Amino acid sequence: MPAFPYSTSPATPAVAIPPSLALPVIEAAFPRQLHPYWPRLQEMTRGWLLEKRLMSADKVAEYADGLCYTDLMAGYYLGAPEEVLQAIADFSAWFFVWDDRHDRDIVHGRPASWRHLKGRLHAALDAPGLFLYHRDPLVAGFADSVLRLYSFLGRRWNARFARHFHEVIEAYDREFRNRTNGTVPKVDEYLELRRLTFAHWIWTDLLEPSAGCELPAMVRKHPAFRRAALLSQEFAAWYNDLCSLPKEIAGDEVHNLGISLIRHDGLTLEEAVTEIRGRVEGAVMEFLSTEQEVRRFAESLDDGSARGKQISTAVSSCLGNMRNWFSSVYWFHHESGRYMVDNWDDRSTPPYVNNEAAGEK
């Protein structure tokens, strides 16, 4: 079990962070916290991965805890009811397994497997109850987690979540074609695609069941609120690109901000790293400024009515968890075995994945 700074004050890092990846502002201004349910969350998600056959028993035993998937969510959605956090954590673990299947289908040249999976995921998103016992564990696991997420807020939120995730699935399909064809997207095209493949609006949607309240459209679309949400997600995506650049170069990836900068803007590897780091640090500083606007906005929503108080409190909760995403993402990238490429026997093949694909070998 990894060591964590549980206090809400700056703590000594639990791991050594390379200077090129260290962000002192995160360590100082974004104190790390974990949901008190975390130890049980880890145990339950480990069991869910086994029950749904998303990872083999030997890989769950050897790698599940070290991948830190539950740690990532437990550091993000603080204040969430336990059943909500459990559903989110299982969905997040599923997402990582799905990402690995997508990668292996590309690496092993399995386009038919990917097309079939894509279609089934679209269908399961609209009618998860029909796919709970699908023969492909990835489809059944998705249906199970989505059905649980749909139980918390109601039809309008569910429809928004579904709309956003249909876009994520299609973005993954665009990635499949790009990688199959060896196409490195230009920087602007990549940034647009990345917002979808990183599922920016999915993780933002999930702030609402964590707060126990569906936010009105006028709140979600408020410029400061939307900007703060986007900045927290952009930070996460760009920091992920910074940390995973060696892994993705080794795996012949074409989707990484650094790779786009090198290919299309003529930057050297060192210059690309500097550019990404600048964007990461810029997102942090802009969030700190925007955060104050959102806080004032939340206060203005409390008009003395019960509904006004509820919405104001929910916005404050969502904002606090946007802030938590910075520290959770930061530490995850230095504790998860997902990014410890130098420890793998084969830098292009993660040791925690199965290479088999349902329906096609």
Question: What's the gap between Cα 26 and its chain centre?
Answer: 18
Give the Cα-Cα-Cα angle 325, 331, 335 (nearest 5 degrees).
135
User: Is position 152 annotated as part of the catalytic site?
Assistant: no
User: Is position 30 annotated as part of the catalytic site?
Assistant: no
Q: Where are the alpha helices (DSSP H) in the chain?
A: 24-29, 38-51, 57-59, 65-67, 69-74, 82-107, 111-126, 137-149, 155-181, 187-197, 200-205, 207-211, 217-220, 223-250, 257-264, 269-301, 306-335
Instruction: Say how far apart CA 51 and CA 137 lie, in whole Å.
Output: 10
Question: What's the gap between Cα 75 and its chain centre?
Answer: 12
Instruction: Say how far apart CA 178 and CA 197 lie, in whole Å.
Output: 13
Q: Taking a C-beta distance cutoff of 8 angstroms, is the pair 46, 64 a contact?
A: yes
User: Is position 235 annotated as part of the catalytic site?
Assistant: no
- Phi, psi (rounded to 5 degrees) for 76: -105, -60
Q: What count of other Cβ atoms lies within 10 Å of the Cβ of residue 220?
A: 19
Q: Which two tokens stand for residue 139?
A: 């489809």
Instruction: Say how far apart CA 182 and CA 254 lie, in whole Å.
Output: 7
User: Is position 96 annotated as part of the catalytic site?
Assistant: yes
Instruction: Say how far apart CA 289 and CA 330 lie, in whole Å.
Output: 20
Set 30, 95, 235, 297: catalytic member: 95
Set 30, 91, 96, 161: catalytic member: 96
Cite the active site residues. 95-96, 198, 338
